[in-house]
């Protein structure tokens, strides 16, 4: 039975417009608002509430929740559901994200739209199950083998858990690439007020379906319906468009073509460029007090919160401190970082890991200013005072 997004039904299931809910549950709301109709779940702390929340609500809007045998099974099911026409998602945490890496790459190579919520916890391995971290920020970019472009959001608030899950679906559908919501145990298990957007203020993007005459359809090439678009039109299984889906390097018809360099280059150039060509348009940041800043924090997710508190302490003491918060971490806002580096004397990059996003920041800033890593691990976010000391150069 085909799922049809029913806004009235979704809103009945979500309940009141203003609520006080967990970050994890806000991801559930975001998915439901975006029109998710399939969730392949496998519970893992601190992401279990996403699966639980979906299991309770998704069937009530006409969608399907399946409890899979493990995380790689979950994403496999999610990819299959996407080819059946569903907006599909899963949620996990570090160890599960590691297990998903193979099929994450499969989703990239097969140009399958889907959303993965990663409520990050500490690692390596099983680490500290109930505590937050930001240790998977490079994994989402480079964790699966081969060349790809990642789409990765980092919410700092519970509201953003909802908003960015909707946006992740939009980018995923637009670019036919998996998109990740890289939240963490701190924000995932935080409760805050959220305001559910009205239907008329909701921007929902759906994948562009194949509409060309069936005999002329080519599944893995530039769009055949709009000009100069590197995202192919989507041939939902069962609609009569012939295709073949493989993780092997394939030709434009989708059939394996694994022994010639140009076939691979043409394919992988297209699936990376469909995103990288738009990188400048995709920049999503929040700029605070940057106009006159000498020192800037560049940060994302939960860590932006103590950084903002430290910035406010510093401003009260007359220090010219600003903050650039990355809402979408990947694609990385290269040009913006270089522009900021030309303006300030120092960039400080606080993260709940031993230094990950500080590397691309350094790559694009180091010619123009000093870049300092401010790491914190062990399942606790930085105290504002700890970050203030970095501002004082201690």
Partner 1 sequence: MKKDIRICGFGGQGVILAGFIIGKAASVFENYHAVQSQSYGPEARGGAARSEVIISDEKIGYPRPVGVDCLVAMSQESFDTYRDDIRDDAVIIVDPDLVKKHEIGRKLYKVHALKIAEELGNKIVTNIVMVGAFTSIYGLLKPEAVKESVIDSVPKRFTELNVKAFERGLEAGKNALKEL
Binding site for partner 1 (CB under 8 A): 18-20, 130, 186, 189-193, 305-309, 312, 381, 383-385
Q: At its nearest, how many Å lie between partner 1 and the CB of residue 192?
A: 5
Beta carbons within 8 Å of 132's beta carbon, 6+ residues apart: 46, 120, 121, 122, 184, 185, 186, 187, 188, 189, 302, 352, 379, 381
Q: Which is nearer to partner 1, 5 or 325 (CB)?
A: 325
Q: How far is the CB of 195 from partner 1 (least distance, A)?
A: 10
In the complex with partner 1, the residue whose CB is nearer, 192 or 363, is 192
Of 197 and 247, which CB lies nearer to partner 1 in the complex structure? 197
Contact by Cβ (8 Å): 94, 135: yes
User: From CA 291, how far away is CA 240, in angstroms rounded?
Assistant: 56
> Which residue number, 63 or 132, has a Cβ lying nearer to partner 1?
132
CB of 7 to partner 1, least distance (A): 23
Q: 104 with 143: CB under 8 angstroms?
A: yes
Sheet hosting strand 64-67, strand order edge to edge: 64-67, 38-41, 88-92, 114-120, 178-184, 152-153, 328-330
Smallest gap, in angstroms, from Cβ of residue 197 to partner 1? 17
Of 45 and 223, which has the nearer Cβ to partner 1?
Answer: 45
Alpha helices in the chain (DSSP H): 7-14, 23-34, 48-57, 71-83, 94-109, 139-142, 158-175, 185-188, 261-276, 279-282, 304-316, 334-343, 358-365, 384-391
Q: Report the greatest alpha carbon distance in the chain.
A: 70
Nearest distance in Å: CB 19, partner 1? 7
Q: Is the dihedral of CA 34, 37, 43, 48 positive or negative?
A: positive
For residue 46, the minimal CB distance to partner 1 (Å) is 11
- Cross-sheet strand order for the sheet of 285-288: 285-288, 321-326, 295-300, 346-351, 370-375
Q: Which is nearer to partner 1, 306 or 322 (CB)?
A: 306
Q: In angstroms, rounded to a whole number, what is the distance separating the alpha carbons of residues 228 and 277?
A: 11
Write the DSSP symbol of residue 382: P
DSSP H helices in 84-208: 94-109, 139-142, 158-175, 185-188
The residue (of 76 and 158) whose beta carbon lies closer to partner 1 is 158
215 vs 201: CA distance, rounded Å: 39
Nearest approach, Cβ of residue 347 and partner 1 (Å)? 19
The residue (of 149 and 186) whose beta carbon lies closer to partner 1 is 186
**The two structure tokens encoding residue 290:** 């940057």
Task: CB nearer to partner 1: give 191 or 214.
Answer: 191
> What is the rounded distance in angstroms from the CA atom of residue 252 to the CA atom of residue 246?
12
Rounded to a whole number of angstroms, the minimum distance from the CB of residue 20 to partner 1 is 4
Which is closer to partner 1, CB of 78 or CB of 298? Answer: 298
Return d(Cα 210, Cα 109) in angstroms, integer.
19
In the complex, minimum distance from the CB of residue 3 to partner 1, in angstroms, rounded to a whole number: 30
Separation between Cα atoms, residue 377 and residue 385, nearest integer Å: 16
In sequence order, the β-bridge partners of residue 182 are 118
- Smallest separation, CB 96 to partner 1 (Å): 18
Q: How many CB atoms lie within 10 A of CB 385?
A: 11
């Amino acid at each position: 039975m085909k799922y049809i997004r029913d806004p009235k039904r979704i809103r009945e299931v979500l309940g009141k417009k203003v609520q006080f809910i967990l970050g994890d549950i806000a991801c559930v709301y975001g998915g439901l608002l975006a029109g998710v109709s399939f969730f392949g779940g496998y519970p893992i702390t601190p992401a279990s509430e996403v699966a639980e929340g979906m299991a309770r609500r998704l069937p009530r809007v006409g969608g399907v929740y399946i409890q899979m045998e493990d995380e790689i099974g979950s994403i496999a099911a999610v990819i299959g559901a996407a080819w059946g026409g569903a907006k599909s998602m899963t949620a996990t945490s570090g160890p599960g994200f590691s297990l998903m890496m193979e099929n994450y790459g499969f989703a990239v190579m097969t140009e399958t739209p889907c959303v993965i919520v990663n409520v990050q916890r500490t690692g390596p391995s099983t680490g500290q199950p109930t505590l937050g971290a930001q240790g998977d920020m490079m994994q989402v970019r480079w964790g699966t083998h081969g060349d790809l472009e990642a789409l990765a959001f980092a919410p700092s608030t519970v509201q953003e858990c909802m908003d960015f899950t909707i946006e992740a679906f939009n980018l995923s559908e637009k670019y036919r690439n998996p998109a990740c919501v890289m939240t963490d145990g701190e924000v995932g298990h935080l409760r805050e007020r959220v305001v559910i957007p009205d239907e008329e203020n909701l921007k929902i993007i759906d994948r562009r379906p194949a509409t060309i005459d069936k005999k002329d359809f080519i599944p893995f090439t530039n769009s055949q319906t709009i000009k100069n678009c590197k995202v192919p039109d989507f041939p939902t299984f069962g609609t009569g468009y012939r295709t073949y889906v493989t993780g092997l390097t394939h030709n434009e018809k989708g059939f394996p073509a694994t022994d010639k360099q140009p076939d691979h280059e043409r394919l992988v150039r297209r699936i990376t460029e469909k995103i990288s060509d738009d990188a400048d348009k995709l920049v999503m940041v929040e700029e605070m007090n940057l106009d006159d800043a000498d020192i800037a924090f560049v940060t994302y997710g939960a860590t932006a919160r103590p950084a903002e508190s430290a910035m406010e302490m510093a401003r009260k003491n007359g220090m010219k401190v600003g903050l650039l918060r990355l809402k979408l971490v990947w694609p990385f806002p290269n040009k913006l970082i270089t522009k900021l580096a030309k303006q300030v004397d120092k960039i400080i990059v606080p993260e709940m890991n031993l230094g990950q996003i500080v590397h691309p920041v350094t790559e694009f800033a180091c010619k123009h200013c000093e870049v300092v890593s401010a790491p914190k691990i062990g399942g606790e976010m930085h105290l504002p005072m700890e970050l203030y000391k970095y501002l004082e150069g201690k």
